[in-house]
Structure formats: structure tokens, C-alpha cells
Homo-oligomer: A and B are copies of this chain.
């Protein structure tokens, strides 16, 4: 990681624990508005449509090089997917309980996601020595709201609609590096998703895998290793605070 001056962070899953926050709000809404009885909110959040629709649609946009200023933003993608789910055979019993206001409010949960316990402290520590920037497929307003809610002190926020593409399109990584005035090799992407780190590496950035103990079903291997160990990334850490410590120590040696 020598020579790195810019750290670029993935958001969903890497910086914020979206899964726990979304499941908690779904459970709360179920208790308030119904339906009564137990529901598999984890499946609702992840497996079937809601999060998956976001992933599917942004990755399709990424491949097609669609312009996010003229394609649906992430709020609109989430809202559309929610409507589709609540009209489906599987979830229509829930759809009957939730009116427009409830749906509008629920859809904004993505602006209210909580950071992982180490995120705020780690980012403040890293901000002293590095430029720290967010790079997400989420839209800019969503990232700004989330940063205010959960105290993420970004130096800059880059989103699908800011850069005009979606990860893992190389435009996202290359343009972010250029805007931050650093060649790609002086930038490191920090994420818990290998597909994101692979995209960053293909654009010449260094890579930090952050191992999150997420309860979400995940596409990730639990056995991610550094290049020095024969693996695929430059560094593996368990938290942003560990990242701050590791980088500090590597400087002082």
C-alpha cells in the first residue's frame, strides 16, 4: 500500500450494515401496520427482489454504459422493485397492509442505514492521513443523507449519477481517481465485495478487502487472501479501525 494517498470506499455492506438496518425497519413496519404473524423479513430484504433488483439493474446499466442522469436512480429502482414485490403472489398479503405513505417512508430506509460499529471512528482516523471518498452505485443524495445520519466524514462523495456510470464499469474507478488528482496506483478501493475490488484492480487501483461479519447471504468467499499469500487483493482487514492501525504502522516502520 506504499504511495497510496486516496482511499475509496464502497458503501452498501462495506461501510454500512444495510441488511440489519433494513430487516429491523421491515420488522418494525410489520408490527405497526401488519401483517400480524411472523414473516421472513430477511428473505424480503435480500433474497427475492428488493436488494437483488438493485444489484441486477445497476449491473445491467453498468454493462450498457447507461447514463445515470437519464436512467432511474437508486431510489426509483428500489421503489419500483418494492411495488413489484408487494403486488406479487408471495408478498401481496403484506402489500394489502401498507399504504402509499408507508411505502414511501420505507423506501427511504436506504438513506438511513447504520454504519458498521467501526466505520465512523475508522474513517475519522483515516481522514487525518488520507483523502477518503465514497464510491457507490447509490445516488449522491442518498449517500449525503446516509453520511449525515450515521456520521461518515467523507472528503468527497462519488455516486453513479455523479460519475455517469455504475460499478464495476472502469469509468467509475478511473474517473474517481482522476477527479481526486491521483494516478490509479495511488488510490486503494476498500470493499467487502470481490467483484468491486476486481473492477478496481482492472483499472489499476490497489485493493483492500474488508471482511464483514454480515448476516446477509453473500456471494463472498470467507477465504480471501492477499497477493503475498497467493490471493487476489493487496490487503485484508476486519474493520476500518484495523485499516487505520495497519496503515499507520506500515508508515512508521
Question: A residues bordering B, Cβ < 8 Å?
Answer: 69, 75, 127, 131, 139-142, 144, 147-148, 153, 155-157, 159, 161-162, 175, 178-182
Contact = CB atoms under 8 A, between A and B. Distances in A.
Q: How many copies does the complex hold?
A: 2
A130 to B, nearest CB: 10
Interface SS of chain A: helix, strand, loop or mixed? Answer: helix
A175 B141 contact: no
A155 B144 CA distance: 6
A125 to B, nearest CB: 14
Contact of A147 (B141, B155, B157, B175): B155
Nearest to A141: B181
B144 A156 contact: yes
Nearest to A111: B181
Contacts of A140: 156, 179-181
A117 B82 CA distance: 48
B139 A181 contact: yes
